[in-house]
Structure 1
Amino acid sequence: MMHGKRAVIMLVAGLAILSGPAMAASAPQSGFDVDLATRLWLDTLQGPARARSDAYFEGGYWLPLWGTLIAVLIDWALLHLRLSARFRDWGSRISQRPSAIAAVTALLYLLAGSVLTLPWTIYSQFIRERSYGLMNLSFGGWLGEQAISLAFSLVVGTAVLVALYAAIRRFPRRWWVLGTGIVAVFAFVALLLAPIYLSPLFNTYREMPQGPLRDHIVAMANRFDVPAKHIYVFDASKQSDRISANVSGIGPTIRISLNDNLLNRSTPEEIEAVMGHELGHYVLGHAWRNIAFFVVLAALCLFVVARIAPWLIARYGQSWGVQDLSDPASVPVMMICISILSLLATPLTNSLIRIDESEADAFGLDAAREPDAFASVAMKLADYRKIEPGHVEEMLFFDHPSGATRVRMAMQWKKDHVPDARMVHPAPLPQHFGEHRK
């Protein structure tokens, strides 16, 4: 149930590796107790499994801070050692065209940054994930995917930086306005083309076979006028055991994608609950709203960069070998500012995404009318997301509603919409929950 910072993730159904929790229904309740019903679900995650889930997620609170600090230190080193100036000089020897010099500088900067941050990337994205049982790839397989990501980042990142430096040269005082437009164009193109050209680089996508499940998904999509010409299943299990689904793309590239983990770990009712949530993102126009929000955020960020970066260059540029902001060697200065501003904006971006997810949850409950299945899926997501955070903790660090918030919403919906709602007593989640499956 996610977006998800951003790509493409999916949903399927059928046989279960981990069957849905057994739910024994009691007699109809004269007064359905939302608090008790919520607690019965939350208490299915106990002991080492719950401690592991909490430890994983709480440890992640520090990752953005350390990642930003490492990025800033590397950018500072590239400036202090005059390496970015050297990258620019190498570009000048290849061509005297400003765009070519910017391209060479950007390419070398991105490549150097990726190499220097590789130890941190290995720890944060492979070792840590593997230690919590959330990574199924071997190190070689993971490294191969990182190479694909690097190639994509070099191409797209270089193009963005070349365009930004062209804007700085052409409009030195108001470049951030055109820069915002550049960011918006790249964001739109990414949404349009990622499902077709990027996602298949990491996973195999196949049209979902004809059958009752596909028919049910198509019928659900048709109820809300969601294009359902293409419904894909992809092999997310090669990377991890996380369950997910999405409606991705825009215009002619819209497709529904379902991952095999959802098929293997979920009941038909749970799949319907997830599908209702994902259709909600499309029906509620979250993709377009998010583009608008992030474009405004990019405008604010570039505006601040346009004020701070020239001041830093005026003060330290001579020792760095950087002439002014239009000099491509200034790219680490720009990135230091962007890294810090992005970190400061994290609670705001988390809140926007969390609001979207909460709206999609409400839509999905109305669409699927499966509150217990929805609660069950929320608990299954706890292998990588803390189930019961504090209010401030959830507001600052969660980009999705917590499991407790989602289960309570489902139980409140059940009380409000299900006549003679029955209390269920779900079975405990297995203690190996969240451990790596060898």
Structure 2
Amino acid sequence: MMTMLELAVVQAPAAQMFDPVAATHAYLATVNGAARARSDAYFEGGYWLILWNAVVGAGIAWGLLQTGIVARLSGKAEAWARGRKAGRAFLFSILYLALTSIVTLPWTIYVGWLREHQYGMSNQTLPAWLGEWLIGAAISTIVGGLALLALLTLYRKLPRSWWAWGTLASGIFLLVGLLLGPVFIEPLFNRYTPMPASPLRDQILQMAQANGVPTDNVLVVDASRQTKRISANVAGLGPTVRVALNDNLLHRTSAPEVRAVMGHELGHYVLGHTASLLIGFTLIAGLFLLVLDRATPWLVSRCGRSWRIAGRDDPAMLVPATIVATVLAVLLTPVTNSLIRFHESQADYFGINTSRAPDGWARVALKLGEYRKLEPGPLEEIVFYDHPSGRTRILMGMRWKAHHLGEPDVQ
């Protein structure tokens, strides 16, 4: 048995010889040629999708306003609601959300199915994809209708402070989604089954229980029906907490890689990221509503006569508001991405430290590089990345490794 002094003597030269930067470059050099070009093209195409999604969304809203379709929907909602303002707001929201889902379907098919097949990321047939789209559209229409009803009611009844109360309402809707999503929504799209007994399952549970995550089970989701991507999550709050990994992660990676990923996901729970992200996105929602409060009336005053929007009580105010929100969302892309990326970086370090598998983490980062550009420029990463880049993640792992070389439990 080595004494602590002997162990330190062995570790010191090894740590001095190990260069984290050189090790990072060595890992990155294993992905090149066609694979690197395809990954870069896929991810960089996503930059343009931010713009084109906004153009499509705002353009359709503008077109529906200009053609009078929005005014007619508002009139129908008013007739069906028989003078009840809340009923009119809810019916209009449902009609508008359903209509825009249908009108944007060709674009959605391109982005969500055709483009994924072009880059070899999807395993799903078009009929299967359309079936899931239909379920998702129905849920979004109903839930979105309720959320918009709340905001439109506040907008009508509290003209000065509606945006502040709307911020609180947005936080409540986000919280309810976090609680109910893992239990009621996600199982509509995938099957969650207990992970078979194995040493790897025991190791995941050991990491979870050692860090206070209240679970005695690990679930496997059949994501390979839809995609080739690897993923995992610790979702839910309180009684709905669930530790899950997808079957791609289980079948395409080694045990140290799985442990590294699960350590990352456990980190989100242990570090309280659900609460901090909930607060962060609630505040961002408040900023959106404040801007909408100022900009939407201005836009309506310029064009509202041709759009036939009657005024504050008309739920058609929602549509010019979506145009303003779409533009604002594009402008705030670096802010929302940086908020998420900060939390992901924290979870990265927690995961490496918990799994003690820096090389497993590096190999996972390369697999994630199948659809994320591995080596962006600094500004590019700040603006467009909602997770740290592959280079950043591997370098973090190699730096951790340099400080722990020779320790017996390092994978």
Structure 1 residue identity aligned to 2:75: D
- Is 1:208–2:195 an aligned residue pair? yes
Query: After TM superposition, what 4+ stretches of structure 1 lie above 6 angstroms from structure 2?
Result: none
TM-score (norm 1): 0.88
Partner of 1:170: 157
- Is 1:49–2:49 an aligned residue pair? no
Partner of 2:168: 181
Partner of 1:318: 305
How far residue 248 of structure 1 moved from its aligned partner, in angstroms, is: 0.2
CA 1:298–1:420 in structure 2 vs 1: closer, same or farther (change >3 Å)? closer
Partner of 1:32: 18
* 1:198-347 to 2 correspondences below 5 Å: 198-347=185-334
Q: Distance in 1 between matches of 2:25 and 2:199?
A: 34
Give 1:60's match in structure 2, choosing from 46, 52, 66.
Answer: 46
Q: Distance in 2 between matches of 1:29 and 1:75?
A: 59
Mind listing any 5+ residue stretches in structure 1 that lack a counterpart? 1-26, 425-438
Structure with the larger RCO, 1 or 2 (CA within 8 Å, 6+ apart): 1
Q: Is the 8 A contact 1:309 1:333 kept in 2?
A: yes
Partner of 1:394: 381
Q: Distance in 2 between matches of 1:174 and 1:261?
A: 48
How far residue 30 of structure 1 moved from its aligned partner, in angstroms, is: 4.8
Partner of 2:8: none
Structure 2 residue identity aligned to 1:389: P
Partner of 1:93: 79
How far residue 214 of structure 1 moved from its aligned partner, in angstroms, is: 2.2
CA 1:324–1:230 in structure 2 vs 1: closer, same or farther (change >3 Å)? farther
Q: Is the 8 A contact 1:314 1:324 kept in 2?
A: no
Deviation track 1:155-196 (CA, whole Å, cap 9, x = no partner) reads 011101111111112101211111111111110000000000
**Per the alignment, in what secondary structure is the counterpart of residue 313 of structure 2?**
coil
CA 1:264–1:326 in structure 2 vs 1: closer, same or farther (change >3 Å)? same
Q: Is the 8 A contact 1:28 1:420 kept in 2?
A: no
Aligned residues: 396
Deviation track 1:204-263 (CA, whole Å, cap 9, x = no partner) reads 111223332222211111110011134211100001111111100011100101110011
**Per the alignment, in what secondary structure is the counterpart of residue 206 of structure 1?**
strand
Partner of 2:117: 130
**Per the alignment, in what secondary structure is the counterpart of residue 76 of structure 1?**
helix
Structure 2 residue identity aligned to 1:33: D
Partner of 1:20: none
Structure 1 residue identity aligned to 2:295: I
CA 1:417–1:326 in structure 2 vs 1: closer, same or farther (change >3 Å)? farther
Q: Is the 8 A contact 1:85 1:321 kept in 2?
A: yes
**Per the alignment, in what secondary structure is the counterpart of residue 242 of structure 1?**
coil
Mind listing any 5+ residue stretches in structure 2 that lack a counterpart? 1-12
Structure 2 residue identity aligned to 1:212: P
Q: Distance in 2 between matches of 1:168 and 1:248?
A: 33
Identity %: 48
